[in-house]
């Protein structure tokens, strides 16, 4: 799951998407209401792509956990972060049974569910496989258009070549009768000469 450009700002609710970068700040857009505000270097900014969940083994990237939720819910919303903590904890244990229950606080668990639903509603929750398919589908029509353009470019050449052949054929057709008409005249003269010679003998 691609979470590039999605950030959380400490002290501000929800999530934000990085839109542009200024001299001393970045312009971000809230995924909750779409409002754009500046975020400064003094703000505590966390990129979702860099966040991991504490486990008793290696830390689990947040993007992998959100992908697991996406697949479990079949691309739909997950339980609200306002649900009972026991329900949310049981849900998380079902996906990540080895998460560190001492280091992952209840507020962290609620944030996971809140962030998932925010990303879902804003259309920023997409699997990388789906994005690759969309990208390949977009490239396919371009390739078809390029082929069509090549065929169109080749078509006029064939059309311009056709009249030249027609002109050549016409020239041959005109010269053909003159050749045929010349032969009968020569034959008649030769025949007449031979006949006169036979009579003299």
In angstroms, rounded to a whole number, what is the distance separating the alpha carbons of residues 54 and 159?
71
Q: Is 156 left (phi over 0), alpha (psi -120 to 50) or beta?
A: alpha
Instruction: List average pLDDT for each run of 10 residues in the chain, which is 201 residues long.
Output: 92 94 91 94 94 96 96 95 96 97 96 96 79 56 55 54 44 41 42 42 39
Residue ranges making up the domain that contains 41: 6-129
On whether residue 28 sits in a domain, the answer given is yes
Show the tokens assigned to 104.
């992952």
pLDDT at 151 (0 to 100): 57
pLDDT at 83 (0 to 100): 96
On whether residue 84 sits in a domain, the answer given is yes
On whether residue 146 sits in a domain, the answer given is no
On whether residue 46 sits in a domain, the answer given is yes
pLDDT at 2 (0 to 100): 87
Q: Are strands 52-53 and 36-40 parallel, antiparallel or unpaired?
A: unpaired
pLDDT at 139 (0 to 100): 60
pLDDT at 126 (0 to 100): 80
The secondary structure element, H or E, covering residue 8 is strand 6-9
Whether the CA torsion 128, 129, 132, 138 is positive or negative: it is negative
On whether residue 145 sits in a domain, the answer given is no
Whether the CA torsion 13, 17, 21, 22 is positive or negative: it is negative
Residue 55 burial class via C-beta count within 10 angstroms: exposed 0-12, middle 13-18, buried 19 and up: middle
pLDDT at 55 (0 to 100): 97
On whether residue 161 sits in a domain, the answer given is no
The CATH number of the domain holding residue 86 is: 1.10.10.1650
Q: How many domains does the chain have?
A: 1
On whether residue 183 sits in a domain, the answer given is no
On whether residue 144 sits in a domain, the answer given is no
């Amino acid at each position: 799951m691609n979470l590039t450009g999605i950030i959380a700002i400490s002290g501000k609710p929800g999530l934000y998407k990085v839109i542009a970068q200024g001299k001393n700040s970045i312009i971000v857009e809230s995924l909750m209401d779409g409002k754009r505000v500046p975020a400064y270097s003094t703000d505590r900014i966390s990129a979702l792509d860099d966040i991991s969940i504490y486990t008793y083994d290696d830390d689990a990237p947040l993007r992998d956990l959100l992908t697991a939720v996406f697949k479990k819910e079949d691309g739909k919303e997950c339980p609200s972060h306002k649900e009972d903590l026991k329900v949310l904890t049981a849900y998380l244990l079902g996906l990540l049974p080895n998460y560190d229950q001492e280091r992952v606080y209840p507020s962290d668990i609620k944030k996971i569910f809140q962030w998932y639903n925010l990303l879902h509603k804003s259309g920023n929750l997409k699997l990388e496989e789906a994005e690759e398919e969309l990208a390949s589908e977009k490239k396919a029509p371009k390739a078809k258009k390029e082929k069509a353009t090549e065929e169109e470019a080749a078509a006029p050449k064939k059309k311009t070549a056709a009249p030249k052949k027609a002109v050549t054929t016409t020239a041959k057709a005109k010269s053909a009768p003159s050749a045929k008409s010349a032969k009968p005249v020569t034959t008649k003269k030769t025949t007449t000469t031979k006949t006169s010679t036979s009579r003299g003998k």
